[in-house]
Amino acid sequence: EAGVTQFPSHSVIEKGQTVTLRCDPISGHDNLYWYRRVMGKEIKFLLHFVKESKQDESGMPNNRFLAERTGGTYSTLKVQPAELEDSGVYFCASSRLGQGKDEQFFGPGTRLTVL
Amino acid sequence: QKEVEQDPGPLSVPEGAIVSLNCTYSNSAFQYFMWYRQYSRKGPELLMYTYSSGNKEDGRFTAQVDKSSKYISLFIRDSQPSDSATYLCASGAGSYQLTFGKGTKLSVIP
């Protein structure tokens, strides 16, 4: 079974530009989560999808961040316009419906650098 | 006060040693607790999870939760160089979002 995949693995952009991160969850996993780790800080929750619906987006930092999951499969996280403080590692995780509270499987992350 | 506190280390031990990793948490609503292992440039990998106070064992790993003192521990017996990684504790309440500690970087020296 393939794990959670994320693309790109690394992105370097300039302040003010737009970046779109993609996450492909494990096949059959209806729960999808985005987390972020800013340098020196702990991993923090951003939002949670159940299929194509946003279940909890309480961790989204501001309206420059837009997450979508059309069709309930892969998800994208767009940052527009990017700011310096958006630099960090963005992780995606997925889990089966009904099992998300204890078995979230993480992807390798996308390392975003905003210059 | 952060909801989950974890000493970032680094922690260096000789091969074969018993490793003790610890976290404290402040949110009484936390119901489930897990430990993740993260190798460099990789995503966190779930090692252990538990819902209740007490011990849970899996091979060389034992997770311990004491809800009365809000203390979470992970013990690694007979540590191996391949155990060298960052270990993250995480907790959750009613929702699905996990709250992580900063992680402890462990090095096991051959």
The C-alpha atoms of residue A8 and residue B81 are separated, in whole angstroms, by: 30
Return the pLDDT at A8.
97
Pick the residue of B34, B96, B100, B104 with the most A CBs within 10 A to test the interface with A by mutation. B96
Length of chain A (residues): 115
Instruction: With beta carbons under 8 A apart, name residues in chain B contacting A21.
Output: none
Return the pLDDT at A67.
97
> Residue A101: which pLDDT band, with cuts at 50, 70 and 90?
low
Find the mean pLDDT for residues A15-31: 95
The C-alpha atoms of residue A110 and residue A97 are separated, in whole angstroms, by: 25
Instruction: With beta carbons under 8 A apart, name residues in chain B contacting A102.
Output: 32, 34, 49, 51
Find the mean pLDDT for residues B29-50: 92
Residues 6+ apart with CB under 8 A from A62: none
Pick the residue of B1, B35, B97, B100 with the most A CBs within 10 A to test the interface with A by mutation. B97
Check whether A16 has a pLDDT greater than 70. yes
Find the mean pLDDT for residues B11-15: 96
pLDDT tens-place string over residues B98-108: 999 999 999 99
Return the pLDDT at B53.
85
pLDDT tens-place string over residues A59-94: 999 999 999 998 889 999 999 999 999 999 999 999
pLDDT tens-place string over residues B64-109: 999 999 999 999 999 999 999 999 999 988 778 999 999 999 999 9
Instruction: List the structure tokens of B80.
Output: 């191996």
Find the mean pLDDT for residues A19-43: 95
Find the mean pLDDT for residues B26-52: 91
Task: List C-alpha distances in Å: B16 to A30, A94, A96, B74, B108.
Answer: 41, 34, 36, 16, 8
Check whether A100 has a pLDDT greater than 60. no
